[in-house]
Amino acid sequence: MKRRWMAAALAAVLSMSVLSGCSGSGSGTSASTAASGETSAVSETQKDVAAVTAGEDAKIADEIDIARAGSVTTLDPVLLSYTPDIQIVNMICEELVTTNDDGTEIVPGLAQTWDVSDDGLTYTFHIIPDLKFSDGTDVTGDDWKFSFERAMTTEESPWAFAAANIASVDTPDDDTVVITLKEQAANTLSNLSCFSVALQSKAQYEATNSYADAGSYPIGTGSYAVSEWVQDDHITLTANPNFHGDAPKTATIKFQTVTDDNSRMMMLKAGEVDIVTDLPYSSMEEINNTDGLTAVGLPSTSNKYIILNETSNEALASKEVRQALLYATDKQTIVDMVLYGYGEPAVSFMPKNGLYWNDTIEPVSYDVNKAKELLADAGYADGFDLEVLVPSGNETYSQIATILKDMWAQIGVNLTITSMDQAALYDDEYAMKHEMVFGSWSDDIADPSQLGAYWWDFDASQCFFTGYQNSDAEEIFQKSQTEMDDSAREQLYDQLQQIFYDDVVAINMYHAEATVAMSDSIQGYVQTPLYAYRFDNMIKVEE
Amino acid sequence: MDVINYIIKRILQMIPVFIIVTIVIFFMIRMIPGDPAAVMLGSKASPEAIASMREKMGLNQPMWTQFLIFLKDLFHFDLGTSVKYNQSVSSLVASRFLVTAALTAVSTVFSVIISFILGYVGGMKKDKWQDQIIRFASLFGLSAPTFWIGLLLLTVFAVNLHLFPVSGWGDTPLDHIRGLILPGITQALGVSAVMIRNLRNNVIEIKGSDYVEFAKSKGLKNSVISSRHILRNALIPTTTLLALKIAYMLGGSVVIESVFSLPGLGALLVNSINARDYAVVQGVVLTFVIMVMVINLLTDIIYSILDPRVKLS
């Protein structure tokens, strides 16, 4: 008898420990600590982490270690696609012009000044004289021509938009670059700030068999250069000895790849790395409550959408039905539960604080009754079935899907969640076989035309895989591409944002902040909303 | 000699298996939905860009043509090139092989130490307090998820005590070994539970057998009885189990390598499947097949050494 009781007690204890073990895995999305929109009182802001307070003679470290979730797959500026690649290329290569740290304006890059012809078709850029690449070789006109040619002629490039409007590139001398456009465009300078048209050494390209050799990388003029790259493990950058500006304060920056969220956090806590990116929102508070560590949310250009495919589900083809879903979505709750307050509900499809972002559109309120009314009017009083495809392993999307399932059940919409591997999901998405997926966007240039083209040029993505076609909207967008007057262009984008919201082309869920955690010894951390690193002034103060 | 002939015979038997696996994997991975070009270029690429990339990657050719090209290359011992890493598959696999082999070796050493000692002690001290503790611990190890145990070990030994790195392979051989200790123990714990029970049961059974009684009555010293009769006989079935577990650990390396950031074959396999890097997936699967077959071969040989009644045939 006694043995039976003991066995039962043992079983109970073990099952509890197993269950607690299950929730401790993955990216730690434990729902129990959902903050109600407040961030910890000790959390710092973007300005705090960017500030450098240490004196000139403070002792600083030679190397700063950063752990990221993703690894670099390629550093070819024309063919790369993922954020870890883009971040490195942005540090080692530079463009004619670039954006300021806020991501709001175009400022001189390698070009100190430029002249625009009266017809707006010819831009003459005056380059910093005596420019050298990081390997000491001189920059010549050939290097500029080659860099642009690659961007202009590589069909497979996801960044073809940046060079699409360039008719020709001439270099009358090594310090002058003349770009002739096909037609006038307001986004010319923004496109020229894209990493795909960054200056690269032609000699390096040829020496690496057109970047086809394993582990090959471009040689640029950036403040840092690649010194070591072990695929899937780490990439180390060291200060460029031939940099044309002030040398960066920290000699070496090492980016390590640590895919597991928990491992990344532990490395920070153990002091093995100094900075950690891609921190899960649920861990922000824990880091802020740890002595010596800080977690901050930074402005970003990210948008998350609920993509409803009008062509595969009859109900979704009706505007009233989509509006009903909008009314039935409590965006603030999603922001609280998924982002732990590090973001805000979105009304516009464009990034927050980006150029022409319209924050005056009146959002509808969360209203379940109104939603039911709209559904009934559209002929779906009993609701309907809907399937959402979620990439497996993506905790955020799984969480959002689960929340939406609950919310939409209240109006009779039965949402089933299907998990699929990412590549298979892309297949279905491109073939428009999905009913609903989640969409994500962040800008690569400081101009809404990149995002605009993705939404409003139907061939680009079938309106972000919604199948929504509106020739008026498409015309408005085409007009905005050649409109040179700033306020006129702004009005065109206002119209697009209003049409988008009224027709519920997609449901704009939220603008999220980018998260980063670092040791308190780090100062001068700067990251633009376009997710580019500006680490020239970053230091690690040693006690 | 017998053993050499046996090895040669086994290797010859491996070849047809090898060929069949190659063919199956080749077609299977290409039939899964998912376009390597789309994954490589990302979601912002236009349909034209993706089509262009597909052409460049030779994906538009009919499946049989691609297979014939693959066979031709295989004949020259060329496993193909990785589209993601721009490296030959053989050099890619070779560089990662060391990590996974080292991890499996370290895990095996730890599981042998843990399970052989605890299993033997548990069996010899049946129902005494040592045995109770060992049984409880092994039940715990069996039930608790491996990665949870791994996280616990990390928190205590890496984060708090700074004895081992949280993750990573490191740069020097010493770093490598330090980096393998925690993952090795984690994998070993997951596997040991079953082996402890197995060995313990064998020991108990043998302890109660006739020849051990006879040995005792002959007046043999306890230590001689333990080593020559009990331990050696008890280890035979456990060794077979160990071989199975090693093959299991090779598969488990996928999870462990991700959690501890070790650049091994498991992590490579996962990344390649996600990227639909066909050539690499084939290369890694073939490598795993060879490793498992070699382990089985070694197990059979060791078995025949341990048990003289077994003849290699």
Question: Chain-centre distance of CA A521, in angstroms?
Answer: 27
Residues of A in contact with B28 (CB under 8 A): none
Helix (H, G, I), strand (E, B) or coil at A71: coil
The per-residue pLDDT string of chain A (543 residues; one tens digit each, 9 = 90 and over) reads 566 666 555 555 555 544 444 443 333 333 333 333 334 334 468 888 888 888 888 899 999 999 999 999 899 999 998 999 999 999 999 999 999 998 889 999 999 999 999 999 999 999 999 999 999 999 999 999 999 999 999 988 999 999 999 999 999 999 999 999 999 999 999 999 999 999 999 999 999 988 888 889 999 999 999 999 988 889 999 999 999 999 999 999 999 999 888 889 999 999 999 999 989 999 999 999 999 999 999 999 999 999 999 999 999 999 999 999 999 999 999 999 999 999 999 999 999 989 999 999 999 999 999 999 999 999 999 999 999 999 998 989 999 999 999 999 999 999 999 999 999 999 999 999 999 999 999 999 999 999 999 999 998 899 999 999 999 999 999 999 999 999 999 999 999 999 999 999 999 999 999 999 999 999 999 999 999 999 999 999 987
Chain-chain contact of B144 with A18 (C-beta, under 8 angstroms): yes
Task: Please write down the HEC assignment for all residues of A509-541.
Answer: EEEECEEEEEECCEECCCECCCCCECCCCCEEE
* Alpha-carbon gap: A403 to the closest alpha carbon of chain B (Å): 25
Chain-chain contact of B44 with A10 (C-beta, under 8 angstroms): no
Summarised one tens digit per residue, pLDDT across range B105-119 is: 999 999 999 888 888
What DSSP line would sit under A435-452, residue for residue? SEEEEEE--SSSSTHHHH
Chain A residue with minimum CA distance to B167: A263
In the block, tokens 């109660």 appear at B208
Question: Chain-centre distance of CA A260, in angstroms?
Answer: 20
Summarised one tens digit per residue, pLDDT across range B161-180 is: 888 888 778 778 888 888 89
| CA gap A380, A373 in Å, rounded | 10
In the block, tokens 């290329």 appear at A89
Which residue among B33, B151, B169 sits closest to A427, beta carbon to beta carbon? B33
Which residue among A73, A230, A444 sits closest to B84, beta carbon to beta carbon? A73
Is A292 an interface residue toward B (CB < 8 Å)? Answer: no
Q: Which amino acid makes up residue B45? A: A
Helix (H, G, I), strand (E, B) or coil at A172: strand
Question: E-assigned strands of A189-326?
Answer: 224-230, 234-239, 252-257, 275-277, 293-298, 303-308
| CA gap B270, A393 in Å, rounded | 12
* Alpha-carbon gap: A214 to the closest alpha carbon of chain B (Å): 5
Q: How much of chain A is in helix, strand and coil states, percent to nearest 5?
A: 35, 20, 45
* Among the listed residues A368, A359, A297, A360, the one whose alpha carbon sits nearest the alpha carbon of residue A333: A368
Question: Chain-centre distance of CA A511, in angstroms?
Answer: 11
Return the H-helix or E-strand segment holding A345: strand A343-345
Is A10 an interface residue toward B (CB < 8 Å)? Answer: yes
* Among the listed residues B224, B215, B289, B216, the one whose alpha carbon sits nearest the alpha carbon of residue B250: B289
Chain-chain contact of B260 with A263 (C-beta, under 8 angstroms): yes
In the block, tokens 């009993």 appear at A382
What DSSP line would sit under B260-313, residue for residue? TT--SHHHHHHHHHHHT-HHHHHHHHHHHHHHHHHHHHHHHHHHHHH-TT----
Q: Which of B46, B92, B258, B280 to mutate to test the interface with A (most CBs of A within 10 A)?
A: B46
Count other C-beta atoms under 10 Å from residue B232's C-beta. Answer: 13
In the block, tokens 């040693």 appear at A542
| CA gap B273, B259 in Å, rounded | 18
Residues 156-195 of A with CB under 8 A from B: 156-160
What DSSP line would sit under chain B, residue for residue? -HHHHHHHHHHHHHHHHHHHHHHHHHHHHHHSS--HHHHHH-TTS-HHHHHHHHHHTTTTS-HHHHHHHHHHHHHTT---B-TTT-SBHHHHHHHHHHHHHHHHHHHHHHHIIIIIHHHHHHHHTTTSHHHHHHHHHHHHHHHS-HHHHHHHHIIIIIIIT-SS-SS---SSHHHHHHHHHHHHHHHHHHHHHHHHHHHHHHHHHHHTSHHHHHHHHHT--HHHIIIIIIIHHHHHHHHHHHHHHHHHHHHHHHHHHHHTT--SHHHHHHHHHHHT-HHHHHHHHHHHHHHHHHHHHHHHHHHHHH-TT----
Residues of A in contact with B87 (CB under 8 A): 214-215, 231
Strand-pair category, A384-391 with A413-420: parallel
Chain-chain contact of B41 with A424 (C-beta, under 8 angstroms): no
pLDDT on residue A434: 96
Contact residues for A486 (Cβ-Cβ < 8 A; gap 6+): A186
| CA gap B134, B119 in Å, rounded | 8
Chain-chain contact of A259 with B261 (C-beta, under 8 angstroms): yes
On the CB side of A341, CA atoms within 13 Å amount to 13
* Alpha-carbon gap: B307 to the closest alpha carbon of chain A (Å): 38
Under 8 Å between Cβ of A507 and A306: yes
Under 8 Å between Cβ of A299 and A46: yes
pLDDT on residue A32: 35
* Alpha-carbon gap: B202 to the closest alpha carbon of chain A (Å): 24
Chain-chain contact of B33 with A424 (C-beta, under 8 angstroms): yes
Residue B225: pLDDT band (50, 70, 90) is confident
Q: Which of A216, A230, A232 to mutate to test the interface with B (most CBs of B within 10 A)?
A: A232
In the block, tokens 């399932």 appear at A405
Residues 128-147 of A with CB under 8 A from B: none
Q: Which of A18, A76, A194, A263 to mutate to test the interface with B (most CBs of B within 10 A)?
A: A263
Please give the model's pTM, rounded to 2 decimal places: 0.87
Q: Say whether pLDDT at B144 is over 70.
A: yes
| CA gap A331, A303 in Å, rounded | 13
The partner residues of A225 in beta bridges, in order of sequence, read: A238
Which residue among B37, B86, B274 sits closest to A213, beta carbon to beta carbon? B86
Q: Which amino acid makes up residue A186? A: A
